[in-house]
Chain A
């Protein structure tokens, strides 16, 4: 008979505390004062900062691996008085800040997918971004499937599902009393992890009751999620995006209310655009990168003063094409994980599902 591995809900707190002795543990933590949930260190938990595994975090996991601002290096111009025509530039790179391994607990499957896509951007072929890898490597990702699906979730429409754990190391399913392990990757690292904490990973034979419960939850979540939007076929949608690209009137119509802020892109797990700037005072300075957004006027503003995407509809068209066209051509998948964050934060109620639907039906 199939063996079931599970963590008892009542020992979850102890489990997390225990692993935090050996790892830096990050969890979805809600600030009770303003309600915002974000991934943060287990060390900040107190009566005002509480773990919340139910709802999505405001910021996706991108926040931890590709932060809004990070220093790339510092520089200093040095002159030798005896050799005034020679200027040397001394560079200092930030050291490996995180030597401890991390465990990130309680990630939703859509966010796992988001990280899988970030890996394609920052860690594939010749693209190895040391700043990203420094934070991304040595991370154990423990995901919990969504027994609750909210109205703005639509992962089932874009090829995911509330229990598709992608490249997460461990996938859990919440059946109320226990968290059932439904995915475990084969790596030595994870085998060791399970062995190290075997007191918490209990085993039993699969029984009918549990099996029914699991099936029921999976079925229900998939069903709810798929009523939130229709299924999008990556191939058809690329063709549609190509054929509507030049329909300016259509794009103007569907983007009229957009105010071209960064709310949707900054909360999106897959938006990865960044800007690089040097800032210097006297002889010392810093080169850093920080998030940038394509819905922004400055994004394409050229030095001449010309802006090829002067109007909001041109910029928003790029955003949608990036996610529902260009990325598919490179990586076969939609560059949207269906988390619905952009819908949640948009000040004027732009709903990416409605936008894409109107393009499809054009």
Chain B
């Protein structure tokens, strides 16, 4: 089957490769349901590029560190939601706009492979095949066939920028459009909160029993540009204990959440990479929900808008002094 979208992508990259020092994109992986980030420099390598519903990684992750290491311009292939990370980094003056060429591809949603893992009762998946509406996955002794529409990432069910990215240098239109039954933003968080504080606390207690403090959640995050300066790892001052256990895991996560309040674009990478399968996105979304209520602000949408926690107003419309006490 000729993949029209991939052809368009390759053509576009061919026309850009001369002016770019390096391009970050997606390539095939041997591991089922996964893709590999790839860094290409030459015309010959362009053929390795792919784009499909498995391209879940947010490649904006590499932008900050790579831009410090390269002289020329960096091209990054992004989904419309990934570009929000770039916008946020630029608006926080962590990234120079002219260093990055954002090549955004119209998107018809991406598959959350952790949902599929769950649907096969966490048996190891040894191969998978994807077509337009279905996905077939094989474990060692069974074969499963699933409708794609149930396995998209949470964010896709509330997405309204899939063919209308908030910012781009190049946009490649996708003939396939996202076609999902929309959910209400933060509906899942509201549902979760109904269980009451006690249950919620117990839930997190159990989740963090498995945290090994591997920092994958921190290091994969495009906005956590602090990975080599993290207060959780400093010896002097010894802000946080280096012990690896449930309570330190939770404490570390609290630091992350507060450092990402009003910055997190909810790309979901932290939750995807967590080897302990902790539902980290729930925490991020809760904080963002509060930020939205207080400051009427969604991170990653407007290039030249100062994020509310990076600036100061004498009077905040939605914060009443008497409510703070």
Q: Residues on A close to B: CB < 8 A?
A: 30-36, 38, 54-55, 58-59, 68-69, 148, 150-152, 256-257, 259-263, 266-267, 275, 277, 279, 288, 290-291, 296-298, 343, 345, 347-349, 351
Contacts and interface: CB of A to CB of B under 8 A. Distances in A.
A57 B216 CA distance: 19
A259 B210 contact: no
B245 to A, nearest CB: 6
A266 B212 contact: yes
B244 A69 contact: yes
A263 B245 contact: no
B275 A58 contact: yes
B220 A347 contact: yes
B57 A35 contact: no
Contacts of A256: 39
Given A34-B277, A151-B30, A151-B126, A348 B57 contact: yes
Contacts of B140: 54, 148, 150
Contact of A150 (B37, B62, B126): B126
Contacts of A257: 36-39, 62
B117 interface: yes
A347 B213 contact: no
A212 B238 CA distance: 62
Nearest to A59: B212
Interface in B22-47: 29-31, 34-39
Contact of B233 (A58, A296, A349): A296
B220 A261 contact: yes
A305 B122 CA distance: 44
A189 to B, nearest CB: 33
A238 to B, nearest CB: 27
B233 A298 contact: yes
Nearest to B41: A253
B220 A266 contact: no
Interface string B242-255: 11110000000000
Contact of B124 (A150, A263, A279, A291): A150
A262 B213 contact: yes
B29 A349 contact: yes
Main SS at interface, chain A? loop
A311 to B, nearest CB: 8
Residue in A54, A256, A343 whose Cβ sees the most chain B Cβ within 10 Å:
A256
Contacts of B38: 257
B191 interface: no
A338 to B, nearest CB: 16
A275 B242 contact: yes
A263 B39 contact: no
Contact of B238 (A150, A267, A279): A279
A277 B277 contact: no
Nearest to B214: A262
A55 B123 contact: yes
B198 interface: no
14 contacts: A34-B277, A35-B118, A54-B140, A58-B275, A68-B245, A69-B245, A257-B37, A259-B220, A261-B216, A263-B275, A266-B212, A291-B212, A348-B36, A349-B34
B39 A277 contact: no
- A-B pairs with lowest CB-CB distance, top 9: A35-B122, A347-B273, A68-B244, A262-B214, A297-B228, A261-B216, A34-B277, A259-B219, A261-B219
A35 B277 contact: yes
Contacts of B228: 297-298
Given A259-B220, A347-B220, A288 B243 contact: yes
Given A259-B216, A279-B241, 20 more contacts: A30-B122, A31-B210, A32-B121, A33-B206, A34-B122, A35-B277, A54-B140, A55-B124, A68-B212, A69-B245, A257-B38, A261-B214, A261-B216, A262-B213, A263-B216, A266-B275, A290-B244, A297-B228, A345-B216, A349-B36
Nearest to A148: B140
Given A30-B122, A347-B273, A348-B57, A260 B37 contact: no
B61 interface: yes
Contacts of A351: 30-31
A27 to B, nearest CB: 17
Nearest to B32: A151
A291 B244 contact: yes
B210 A36 contact: yes
B215 interface: yes
B276 A36 contact: yes
B199 interface: no
Contacts of B122: 30, 32, 34-36
